[in-house]
Structure 1
């Protein structure tokens, strides 16, 4: 058993390490731009922060969620030995995400009135609205990047993604300093560099794909990219809803804290805690990506026991890391709040919230892994409903009652958030525990027989995703072969 555990851990860390590193690098691009904008003026910092958090952040979540549908489809196709389908799936996702981006440009065009509507000052809304218009190229970079990243991830080509992200981060930092501070281009320089950095990532990844390093998976552009889009749209939307419901849950925490007494102190303290939570969750997100690849590959290869074992190892590893991070935070509790704020009141509130933050980190170290299982198995639609029930029908109302009616303030709101997250984690655990993995794999094999076609031929006629959208929405398993996964 120990030998198998070490072997599975090696596979998971091979995927999780670079995935974690890539996420941190890409997450840092906007943060670095905000940091340099803070050297210009308070208004410039607020402009970049509001656009990056509310406009770009909202669109980022939607497109990342929609792109996550490929974790199911590409992962299972690769595990089944149907590598030629990966390129077609990626192209279909490009079509859907770029079409969605055209719709989302409405948010960028009307950013100023939208920001005023949600309570931002006229000065910040006007400035952020102009900045948002110039950041539209970044939106379409998202649409190209996420499907390409999932395409590479399904083949375990995560190291090249990490290298590209590292180069982009170094260049972004260098050019941000050069054009924003040294050449004093101001926010115009921020626009040029941030758009350029995201498109550098896209073009570098595409260059790798087109160079022939993905033989079998990329066979050129195909008209099939425009066929059977409805099934893809359904799975993409359910993936987006699943992810966005989780992200917006934490945004709601800060939003409602703004209506408490001493709102500024509450929001500042919660922002510090949420930022810390975000950085620690990056580790779990790496395991989210890793376990979704492992589960989809093993199910695609008709190896249900291996898929189940991968889930156990990933969850245990991520939880142990979460516990270590929680203990470190509690140990540094008297000192670390002063690093983020000079206000004694904010420091005290962060100090008081640290035990809740540590417990949330421990819980959240498991939740992304279970979400990765859901993505790998194609349960996005079901998990979206779970998120609605646990977060918005239970956790958020409970937090508002505790925070406002029972006068527990920030702690009350956080109690509600943690309760919703805990229930959601337990539900996902029960779903995973009760899953009949043999049945899941056999259903995929039955679908191969139903759709027909030789197992090893690359010219297998693709079946109608639209006609089978209900099956894909519920299970999302691809044709099975006896070929073993390369991972």
Structure 2
């Protein structure tokens, strides 16, 4: 039998926690609710990113060119797609979270299907980037040997990016109704499966790049298949009413919010990709790209933990705004920022203590290890800033003002961060260190501006906007069923 079918128990829990007047009690209860959302999200993000890191680790022990090629494709092309689809999927997070908070659970399945349509079409339109990776990288002036190897690897990633279309949106759909523990379990199973398959295909069968990439695709799609089983099998009977033609109506507002969400996150993730690309123009490009990419992967792995807090802040803010509780939304923001910052300080200290040792997880090259060791201080500061920036971005997604953040990212990263990095890296000859200082400058400026925006936001007004947004697109359950609902496997769950 499905547990907590319609989300009533979750909403009662939130109401109870908002009703306490004692500060310590409110903080404790809010913290428990945050971890209820954040912990499964952290497991999901870490294991999902771990699939990519494990693949790089196996390739790093096969050939230095394959490692550099995978690092280039993963850091530029895959991050490009990930930024677009993760950003566009955050529209699902905003709409489903506010619908759940307002008690309109039946609209969540409609929003999910609209996101599948928008994200699927977007992925297909952008697919030529993977097909023509080799000539694109050559045109950008990358090393010939690395570009050729990258072209082969990018073709293997085509099935992988299509799993984003369904996996990311379903995650947003489930976590908005506090049912993301199932995703954590599925992701936890996929990670050891990937390690086992990678070991079998690469180390034992000697299949090289093909074996590593096949393992990546199998492991990633195993999670998506499990999510389909969970939704279609009747565990979301009130939020999933089956496939419906209502998904094709009122789709333009979803496209608009998806595009603004995509631009917001793309500008951030592309920022890192551009810096990796710039590292390819430095002397000894193979070492520069590998060291910079490995450090970004370490930062990215920690950022997956931070994304758990981003998820918690987004869900809590969207749920409270959808329910008209502006005061509770503000209180939740404060608690999440304090919690995430604590972990940022912890990772900062660990990175300073074990910076060089991290390199041997990815490579046996002492030259690359030396380069990573020199970047450990800069990496430590990145880990600290990640913990703050992620929560502020989650607040933006939960409130639905991704468009504002997109402009902030544009100014912080592209008008300040990249020019500073180029100045220090090329003009003043500080190499990769100079590029990383530019990275830190952009992120720090973004945090300052986002903090000011959150502080100055009228949250009562945002609650009113959320109410109007949800009711503007609301379909009554009877109206939705009249629009040719089909394929409802979960009808028996009602």
Output the TM-score relative to the length of structure 1.
0.86
Residue of structure 2 equivalent to 1:279: 301
Equivalent positions of 1:297-312 (< 5 A) are 297-312=319-334
**Deviation at residue 272 of structure 1 after TM alignment:** 4.0
Say whether residues 1:380 and 2:402 are aligned partners.
yes
Asked if structure 2 preserves the Cα contact closer than 8 Å seen for 1:453 and 1:461, the reply is no
Residue of structure 1 equivalent to 2:441: 419
Alignment gaps of 5+ in structure 2: 1-22, 482-494
Structure 1: distance between partners of 2:153 and 2:290: 24
CA distance change for structure 1 residues 334 and 38 in 2, over 3 Å: closer, same or farther? closer
Alignment gaps of 5+ in structure 1: 463-487
Structure 2: distance between partners of 1:87 and 1:219: 7
Structure 2: distance between partners of 1:176 and 1:334: 25
Residue of structure 1 equivalent to 2:412: 390
Residue of structure 2 equivalent to 1:104: 126
Say whether residues 1:207 and 2:226 are aligned partners.
no
Structure 1: distance between partners of 2:149 and 2:375: 34
**Deviation at residue 171 of structure 1 after TM alignment:** 1.8
CA distance change for structure 1 residues 110 and 254 in 2, over 3 Å: closer, same or farther? closer
Q: 1:176 aligns with which of 198, 202, 215?
A: 198
CA distance change for structure 1 residues 199 and 155 in 2, over 3 Å: closer, same or farther? same
| Other structure's SS at 1:119 match | coil
Structure 2: distance between partners of 1:208 and 1:95: 20
Residue of structure 1 equivalent to 2:38: 16
Q: Deviations over 1:148-186 (max 9, x none)?
A: 111111111111001111111122222232233333444
Q: 2:170 aligns with which of 140, 148, 172?
A: 148
| Other structure's SS at 1:68 match | helix
Asked if structure 2 preserves the Cα contact closer than 8 Å seen for 1:82 and 1:458, the reply is no
Structure 2: distance between partners of 1:252 and 1:360: 17
Equivalent positions of 1:117-136 (< 5 A) are 117-136=139-158
Say whether residues 1:88 and 2:110 are aligned partners.
yes
**Deviation at residue 93 of structure 1 after TM alignment:** 0.6
Q: 1:65 aligns with which of 81, 84, 87?
A: 87
Instruction: State which drifts further: 440-449 or 19-28.
Output: 440-449
Instruction: State which drifts further: 114-123 or 57-66.
Output: 114-123
Structure 2: distance between partners of 1:181 and 1:440: 54
**Deviation at residue 370 of structure 1 after TM alignment:** 0.2
Instruction: State which drifts further: 103-112 or 48-57.
Output: 48-57
Output the TM-score relative to the length of structure 2.
0.85
What is the aligned-residue RMSD (CA, Å)? 2.7
**Deviation at residue 347 of structure 1 after TM alignment:** 5.5
**Deviation at residue 415 of structure 1 after TM alignment:** 2.7
Asked if structure 1 preserves the Cα contact closer than 8 Å seen for 2:61 and 2:363, the reply is no
Equivalent positions of 1:235-254 (< 5 A) are 235-254=257-276
Structure 1: distance between partners of 2:305 and 2:459: 27
Residue of structure 2 equivalent to 1:368: 390
**Deviation at residue 138 of structure 1 after TM alignment:** 2.0
